[in-house]
Structure 1
Amino acid sequence: MTSTKTLFTTLALATVAGFSLAACSGAKEKYASASPADAAAARPVVGTAMIVRDTVIDAIIDASGVAEPIQQATLSTKLMGTVTAVLVHEGDAVRAGQTLLRIDARDLTAKAAQVGASIAEAHAMEREAATHAARIRALYADSAATRAQLDAAETGLARADAGLRAAQAALGELEAMRSYATVTAPFGGVVTSRAVDPGAFAAPGAPLITVQDGSTLRISVSAAGDAVRALERGQTLTATIDGVPVSAVIEGVVPAGVGNLFTVNATVANRAGQYRTGSAAVVSIPVAREHAVLVPNAAIVREGDLTGVIVRSATGDDRRWVRLGVSTATHTAVSSGLKAGETIMVPNAAAR
């Protein structure tokens, strides 16, 4: 009996010891499996506590487009001739009126000399006709000339005057053609394309040089009619260019010519040239108003693709993963994972 009792006691003690060892082992494994992120979330966060509120915000749709310069010109000429000089290269900044390219116009110079001689001859004929007409008028007044002679003199003067005007007009036309021998910048900007080199043959209408003024960019996007119904010229919208937030001012809303789509044109100031022309752009178009919980951007914590906030409760600070909505330069809407009335922490800059 004694040995049996002792055996049961020994087994019982061994069982209790086994459970104790298992519990200790489980506790060790639990603490060992705790991630550094969980440990960090368990510690009180140094920062500013704030209670989030229910806020009415604009529901938006994002429309994609391209940021293009408002002013862009591909320059050509009406002349047919050899390019004698190209004074700029791609990337050069130019001012309005600056000479960019010259074309051989020696034949026009020769014609200008001929037209100049014609004008001189027309001037001489006009003076002779005026003198003759004045003489006939005097004779007619003294009844020494007939009415037919006076009419002929007046007609000759009119023809001489018309000939002079025609010669002067020919000179003006020739000077206009000679001006096409020098290609100048129509506005200040940057040369983005140089299509010819000295010695190349320039044909009328063929592209020679492209100049682009990127000081103001235009973003054109398409949206459905319901989305643009409330938009007005001069209204400011939130947009991004290459992911950088910008303010875009509506220039106009016009039918796109395809179904129920409309084109929204919005301009962005780019005086400093900080945004590159041709960059991808997104315009946020407000379509309705809805309730949302807004949090400061500084309160958002990120880990890979996950986004969250630090929620303070009676049991301590806890990191909570949330889903984010629309964002501005200062705040972001939380679409799920956080309720109005909860307290979040905005960590100090040193604590992030």
Structure 2
Amino acid sequence: MIFQQQKSATILVVLGIALLTACSSKEKTATETNIGPAINVTLATPSGNNGNTVNISGQVESSQTANISTRVMGYITSLQVKVGDKVRKDQLIATISNQDILAKRAQTDAAIAEAEATLKNAQKDYDRFTALYKQQSASAKELDNVTLQYNAVKARVEAAKQMRNEVNAMLSYTTLTAPFSGTVTQKMVDAGSMANPGMPIVSIEQAGTYQISAAVPEAEINQINQGQLVEVTIQSANKTFKGSVTQINQSSQFTGSQYIIKVSIPDNEKAGLYAGMYATIVLTNTNKIPTTNSNTVLVPLSSIENKNQLTGMYTVSANHTALLRWVRLGKTFGDKVEVLSGLANNETFITSADGKLYNGVAVKEKK
């Protein structure tokens, strides 16, 4: 009985060893099959900021923008435009209810008519008493009284006319027109809403006047000069061009220690741009003062892999296979992006490959 049990145990051990050997052989075969031929790749190491450039972010904006509003209170009776509409200079934008102003103008017109009628009568008295005084038939006192009355009526006519000018000016604020040709970018209210003095109704941007506005930190503003050439990259429009600094704000009192600069955009680069697009501006640091940490890790944007909401890049493992490394990105500088974590500043990564990369695929450096 004992002999049979020992025999059965021996058979089980032999079968187990055979099964493990077969599995190991299959895994080895599968691994060898997956390796396949090595893919030629181009390798690089991260570049850092050499301290000779200043990188800042900005936005495209129109150099001339107008918020259309009124100086009177009233209901908006009509609104002739919507967002995106092209408008011409002096084109009608909106109208405000003006019945009360029209009534006031009618009152001033009546006051002018009354004052002018009184003036005609005073003019006759003045002319008559002037003639009598010359004939010594009226005293100087009588002539002075008539002259005083005549001048008072003349002043009343002038006051009524100026009142009408004021009413006409108020009436003009009930008809809003475009101050220049451009595009409607915002509509704050609709017809039927109550307009209040100074409350914007629509915003208009002048066509073809785009520029870039950027905020420069206090530590870097001394490295920027008016007229300085800069490199501008607008990634969303796939544009890179040279611009020049046209304006430097000398105060940061209301911008939190950030100095606002304006950068021009060449006319041939304005097509396809929209206000609000983000831009990266690279300025040569003529003072050679380091502006960022020299350990900053910069890699080409083309080497970044996006999978769902994660970002990564391929590095090379000790076994000469591709290894996808998840990284956290920072600011974008032209065609490069800052890697905040996930890649050392001296670590090799893959910039391009002659085939499709995936984890575990064999790679070799292209000669």
TM-score, normalised by the number of residues in structure 2: 0.60
Which one-letter code corresponds to 2:251 in the other structure?
A: P
- In structure 2, do the counterparts of structure 1 residues 117 and 302 end up closer, same or farther at CA, with 3 Å as the change threshold? closer
Q: Hey, which bits of structure 1, 4+ residues long, moved more than 4 A?
A: 258-261, 269-273
Check the 8 A contact 1:217/1:277 in 2, yes or no: yes
Counterpart CA distance in 1 for 2:103 and 2:143 is 40
Confirm or deny that 1:93 pairs with 2:86. Answer: yes
Check the 8 A contact 2:92/2:175 in 1, yes or no: yes
Determine helix, strand or coil for the equivalent of 2:230. Answer: strand
Which one-letter code corresponds to 1:256 in the other structure?
A: S
Pick the aligned partner of 1:284 from 269, 282, 285. Answer: 282
In the alignment, which residue of structure 1 is the partner of 2:260? 263
Which one-letter code corresponds to 2:164 in the other structure?
A: L
Which one-letter code corresponds to 1:35 in the other structure?
A: I
In the alignment, which residue of structure 1 is the partner of 2:111? 118
- In structure 2, do the counterparts of structure 1 residues 151 and 192 end up closer, same or farther at CA, with 3 Å as the change threshold? same
Confirm or deny that 1:35 pairs with 2:28. Answer: no
Q: Please report how far the alpha carbon of residue 217 of structure 1 lies from its aligned counterpart in structure 2 after TM superposition.
A: 2.5
Check the 8 A contact 2:232/2:334 in 1, yes or no: no
- In structure 2, do the counterparts of structure 1 residues 273 and 148 end up closer, same or farther at CA, with 3 Å as the change threshold? farther
- In structure 2, do the counterparts of structure 1 residues 303 and 193 end up closer, same or farther at CA, with 3 Å as the change threshold? closer
- In structure 2, do the counterparts of structure 1 residues 164 and 247 end up closer, same or farther at CA, with 3 Å as the change threshold? farther
TM-score, normalised by the number of residues in structure 1: 0.63
Q: Please report how far the alpha carbon of residue 91 of structure 1 lies from its aligned counterpart in structure 2 after TM superposition.
A: 0.7
Gaps of 5+ in 2: 1-32, 44-49, 289-299, 305-312, 314-332, 336-345, 347-367
- In structure 2, do the counterparts of structure 1 residues 236 and 108 end up closer, same or farther at CA, with 3 Å as the change threshold? same
Which one-letter code corresponds to 2:190 in the other structure?
A: D
Confirm or deny that 1:245 pairs with 2:240. Answer: yes
Which one-letter code corresponds to 1:281 in the other structure?
A: A
Check the 8 A contact 1:237/1:249 in 2, yes or no: yes
In the alignment, which residue of structure 1 is the partner of 2:21? none
Pick the aligned partner of 1:61 from 54, 67, 70. Answer: 54
Q: Please report how far the alpha carbon of residue 224 of structure 1 lies from its aligned counterpart in structure 2 after TM superposition.
A: 4.7
- In structure 2, do the counterparts of structure 1 residues 59 and 141 end up closer, same or farther at CA, with 3 Å as the change threshold? same
Structure (1 or 2) with the greater strand fraction: 1
Q: Please report how far the alpha carbon of residue 89 of structure 1 lies from its aligned counterpart in structure 2 after TM superposition.
A: 1.2
Q: Please report how far the alpha carbon of residue 128 of structure 1 lies from its aligned counterpart in structure 2 after TM superposition.
A: 2.2
Which one-letter code corresponds to 2:265 in the other structure?
A: V
Which one-letter code corresponds to 2:244 in the other structure?
A: V
Q: Please report how far the alpha carbon of residue 36 of structure 1 lies from its aligned counterpart in structure 2 after TM superposition.
A: 4.3
Q: Deviations over 1:85-123 (max 9, x none)?
A: 111111100011110111221222222222111111222
Counterpart CA distance in 2 for 1:159 and 1:211 is 48
Counterpart CA distance in 2 for 1:122 and 1:302 is 80
Q: Please report how far the alpha carbon of residue 168 of structure 1 lies from its aligned counterpart in structure 2 after TM superposition.
A: 0.7
Q: Deviations over 1:247-286 (max 9, x none)?
A: 3332222232378753322232568542110111222222
Counterpart CA distance in 1 for 2:302 and 2:106 is 80
Check the 8 A contact 2:233/2:334 in 1, yes or no: no
Which one-letter code corresponds to 2:279 in the other structure?
A: A
Check the 8 A contact 1:133/1:157 in 2, yes or no: yes
Check the 8 A contact 2:71/2:196 in 1, yes or no: yes
Confirm or deny that 1:221 pairs with 2:214. Answer: yes
Check the 8 A contact 1:70/1:214 in 2, yes or no: no
Counterpart CA distance in 2 for 1:59 and 1:268 is 23
Counterpart CA distance in 2 for 1:302 and 1:188 is 39
In the alignment, which residue of structure 2 is the partner of 1:347? none
Q: How does 1:1-352 map to 2 (within 5 A)?
A: 33-37=37-41, 59-224=52-217, 227-229=220-222, 231-242=224-235, 244-253=239-248, 254-257=250-253, 261-269=258-266, 273-288=271-286, 304-305=303-304
Count of residue correspondences: 259
Check the 8 A contact 1:214/1:270 in 2, yes or no: no
Q: Deviations over 1:143-174 (max 9, x none)?
A: 22212112112211211111111111111111
Check the 8 A contact 1:236/1:248 in 2, yes or no: yes
Aligned sequence identity (%): 28
Check the 8 A contact 1:252/1:265 in 2, yes or no: yes
Q: Deviations over 1:167-190 (max 9, x none)?
A: 111111111111111111122111
Check the 8 A contact 2:126/2:146 in 1, yes or no: yes
Counterpart CA distance in 2 for 1:193 and 1:174 is 30
C-alpha RMSD of the superposition: 3.6
Determine helix, strand or coil for the equivalent of 1:205. Answer: coil
Check the 8 A contact 1:222/1:256 in 2, yes or no: no
Gaps of 5+ in 1: 1-28, 42-56, 291-300, 307-325, 329-335, 337-352
Counterpart CA distance in 1 for 2:302 and 2:232 is 26
